[in-house]
Amino acid sequence: MQHSVSIRDLSLNFGNVKVLEHLNLDIAQGEFIVLLGPSGCGKSTLLNCIAGLLDVSDGQIFISGKNVTWEEPKDRGIGMVFQSYALYPQMTVEKNLSFGLRVAGMPKAEIDQRVQRAAEILQIQPLLQRKPANLSGGQRQRVAIGRALVRDVDVFLFDEPLSNLDAKLRSDLRVEIKRLHQRLKNTMIYVTHDQIEALTLADRIAIMKNGVIQQLADPHTIYNKPTNLYVAGFIGSPSMNFITGTLDGANFTANDGTVIPVGAYQFVSSAPTGSTKAVLGVRPEHIFIGDEAQGMPYKATAEIEIVEPMGSETLAWTKVAGIPVTFRCSSDIPLAAGDTVTVGFDIARGSLFDAGTENRL
Amino acid sequence: MSQTATMTGQPAVAQDTSGPRGPRPKPFFTPKKVILYTVLVFFSLYYLFPLYVMVVTSLKTMPEVRFGNIFALPTAPNFDAWVKAWTSACTGLNCNGLAPGFWNSVKITIPSTIVSIFIAAVNGYALVNWRFKGSEIFFSILIFGSFIPYQVMLYPLVMITREMGIFGTLQAVIIIHTVFGMPILTLLFRNYFASLPQELFKAARVDGAGFWRIFFEIMLPMSLPIFVVAIILQVTGIWNDFLFGVVFAGTQNYPMTVQLNNIVNSAQGTPEYNVNMAATVLTGLVPLTVYFVSGKWFVRGVAAGAVKG
């Protein structure tokens, strides 16, 4: 199958600073890829390279099978949506949408037709004659998406498009972008630092750190089988519980001496021989209490320190044999600080990492 | 009693409600305000007084001026001195008044304002959005140029314009004003364009617009405030210029400022103070009008251009 976007051995330096190093990424036709990472990890830089707004230091970029490494942005078959919307303030919505088409010298009838179609898809027909200053944040972002839409491109690039919106609008537009993707079936590359956006939108997520892709996988794999400690800690809120200790054969011994059998754990290749310094990671929602805990392979007693009721669920911050452990449970279970409860978890749903290399075992 | 009070959430003890309530009063005559306004009024009078003397004197007749009370209002205000200053005051040997100088100044100011602003705007735009190798060094050199005193360059410029064959013409003055206006205007435009969101430029590039298209269709419509600032700076600066005018224009092309000097300093007969004052006000009228008309834009534009360094 032909890749929609292919990045080969891409490097980018700003002077002596290496922002991207030998990066490879293949994106399938119609795929929704999210580049996720903290500020400064190179995700926006990568997007700008794909768009042609930054010259690369080394490597190649292919879009729809064509080598576009030296092409101008307009010739790459991309449309881009920016965080600050970047609408031309002196033009009406209609002129904003049609600017690129007018630059390309398209006949007026076709321009009108395309603008109408985009306006209809995004439901912004009543706004066509307004200036951007008279639009709300959500409407502006729709127009910005529309500007990419009218150009009828193969690949959509989104650079943190929802970061300037308030929480409510953000979740509304998130759903709308997903709906748009399902309708248009274009390839979309979406940059964000918001893990909820990444998990909800993506077909595959690329988690980046210091210009290197740490893991590229579907959201379920990223969440449940993080490839290293960084990914495990970055994804999930509250973050995964980490317990340091030693892995010795079929047993994980925490630093305080607690022994947890790991026989049911699926190792990436095979269990390391001999004794290895390791970190055990358990998601807060994979720890159970009460009756459910009784059925779990491993059980312990936890002392609750802080309870955070979130409405639909409750977070509890506890100590298990001196190790801080967070768990998530139904809000129906009455919990109070100072309580002692039995918690249990299944090692098969946990993650083991080598303490030295930080990679998944 | 205390029972009911507790139940309704009211405090059991009655509160004193006669105290402060609503907006805090703002008395006008506080010591702070009196001092502030006294100082402000004093300084505005201090600056307005010379203008007052000029205008009043220009409306008097010579006998009245000689009478000596320069602060008194004119007994019979008339514009004879103004007419004379404009049409028939003697500048050296010519007695055509300020009018030719006015038109010379117009011929100098308009082209040099337009050309210098256009070049500076393109410079600033290119320096921000189309960074090239060495653009920062180029910019530093340009800024350094604006700190070199004019006097240092005066003689070389005379030689250059002579070699070009334009010494003593309007073109020479126009070119020199254009060149000398460039550093500070480029700085102004560069800072303004740098304050515009970079993503707009990127969006226009994705839309396929090139260097000039982005400049004219995206950047210029957003730059009205800074253009107003640049126009004010250039119009007033060039209009008020004396040095370049007197050196490069040649006797036939003296701008208004040089002619004003010649009127005031011509040593024939008794000095006509009323004509001198009228000529001075006339010369200052153009920059004054520009400030009054565009004051609001000026402040806004300076603020917009000055934020980023």
Domains of chain A: 3-234 (3.40.50.300), 241-354 (2.40.50.140)
- CB distance A72–B208 less than 8 Å? yes
- Please indicate if any CB of chain A lies within 8 Å of the CB of B160: no
pLDDT tier at B308 (50, 70, 90 boundaries)?
Answer: very low
pLDDT in tens, A105-153: 999 999 999 999 999 999 999 999 999 999 998 899 999 999 999 988 9
Closest chain B residue by Cα to residue A101: B207
- The answer on pLDDT for B307 being more than 70 is no
Burial of B155 (0-12, 13-18, 19+ CB in 10 A): exposed
Query: Would an 8 Å CB–CB cutoff place B213 in contact with chain A?
Result: yes
Q: Which residues touch A276 (CB under 8 Å, ≥6 apart)? A: A246, A247, A248, A354, A355, A361
Q: What are the two backbone dihedrals, phi and then psi, of residue A307, each rounded to the nearest 5 degrees?
A: -115, 130
Residues of chain A with C-beta less than 8 angstroms from the C-beta of B205? 52-53, 72-74
Q: Which residue of B has its CA nearest to A76?
A: B206
Residue from A161, A183, A164, A184 nearest A174 by CA: A161
Helix (H) or strand (E) holding B8: none
B132 — contact with chain A (CB < 8 Å)?
no
B284: amino acid identity, one letter:
G
How far is the C-alpha of B101 from the C-alpha of B95, rounded, in Å? Answer: 12
- Is residue B294 over pLDDT 90? no
Please report the pLDDT score of residue B11 as a whole number: 55
Q: Does residue A153 or residue A297 have the better pLDDT?
A: A153
Rounded to 5°, angle at Cα B152 from B150 and B155 = 100
User: For residue A125, what are the CA distances in angstroms to A117, A147, B80, B133?
Assistant: 9, 14, 66, 45
- Kindly indicate the confidence band of residue B14, based on its pLDDT and cuts at 50, 70 and 90: confident
H or E, element range at B146: none
Domain spans in chain B, listed from the N-terminal domain onward:
31-78, 100-253+278-306
Instruction: Tell me, yes or no, if B209 comes closer than 8 A to chain A by beta carbon.
Output: yes
- Region A170-189: mean pLDDT is 92
Inspect the interface and report whether the beta carbons of A74 and B199 lie closer than 8 Å: no
Q: How many angstroms from the chain centroid is the CA of residue B67?
A: 37
Whether residue B27 has a cis bond before it, omega within 30° of 0: no
What ipTM does the predicted assembly reach?
A: 0.85
Distance CA A221, CA A35 (A): 15
Reported residue count of chain B is: 309
- Determine, for residues B222 and A90 on separate chains, whether the beta-carbon distance falls below 8 Å: yes
Pairing label, strands A155-159, A78-81:
parallel
Interchain contact, B209 vs A73, CB within 8 Å = no
| H, E, C per residue of chain A | CCEEEEEEEEEEEECCEEEEEEEEEEEECCCEEEEECCCCCCHHHHHHHHHCCCCCCEEEEEECCEECCCCCHHHCCEEEECCCCCCCCCCCHHHHHHHHHHHCCCCHHHHHHHHHHHHHHHCCHHHCCCCHHHCCHHHHHHHHHHHHHHCCCCEEEEECCCCCCCHHHHHHHHHHHHHHHHHHCCEEEEEECCHHHHHHHCCEEEEEECCEEEEEECHHHHHHCCCEHHHHHHCCCCCCEEEEEEEECCEEEECCCCEEECCCCCCCCCCCCCEEEEEEEECHHHEEEHHHHHCCCEEEEEEEEEEEECCCEEEEEEEECCEEEEEEEECCCCCCCCCEEEEEECHHHCEEEECCCCEEC
Say what the pLDDT of residue B150 is.
Answer: 82
Residue with tokens 């005051």: B89
CA distance A10 to A17: 15
Taking the C-alpha atoms of residue A114 and residue A126, their distance in angstroms, rounded to an integer, is 16
Q: Region B62-90: what's the mean pLDDT?
A: 85
Position B6 pLDDT exceeds 50 = no
pLDDT at A147: 92
Vertex A224, ends A220 and A228: CA angle to 5°? 115
**How many other CB atoms are found less than 10 A from the CB of residue A246?**
14
- Please give, rounded to a whole number of angstroms, the shortest distance from the CA of A99 to a CA of chain B: 7
pLDDT tens for A203-246 read 999 999 998 999 999 999 999 999 999 999 999 888 999 999 99
Using a CB–CB cutoff of 8 Å, tell me whether B122 touches chain A: no
Closest chain B residue to the Cα of A158, Cα to Cα: B203
Q: Which CATH architecture has domain B100-253+278-306?
A: Orthogonal Bundle (1.10)
Task: Provide the 10 A C-beta neighbour count for residue A64.
Answer: 18
Q: Which of A103, A156, A159 to mutate to test binding with chain B, by most B CBs within 10 Å of its CB?
A: A103
Are A100 and B208 inside 8 Å of each other by CB? Answer: yes
Task: For an interface test with B, give the residue of A50, A71, A84, A156 to mutate (most B CBs within 10 A).
Answer: A84
Residue matched to tokens 């059925």 = A295
Contacts of B208 in chain A (CB under 8 A): 72-74, 100, 103-104
B positions 169-198 inside 8 Å of A (CB): 197
Q: What pLDDT is stored for residue B267 in this prediction?
A: 62
User: What is the Cα B123 distance to its own chain's centre?
Assistant: 22
- Judge whether A54 is closer than 8 Å to chain B, CB to CB: no
Q: What are A27-43's pLDDT values in tens digits?
A: 999 999 999 999 888 99
CB contact under 8 A, A80 and B206: yes
Nearest Cβ partner for A79 among B197, B206, B218: B206
B43: confidence class by pLDDT, cuts 50, 70, 90: very high
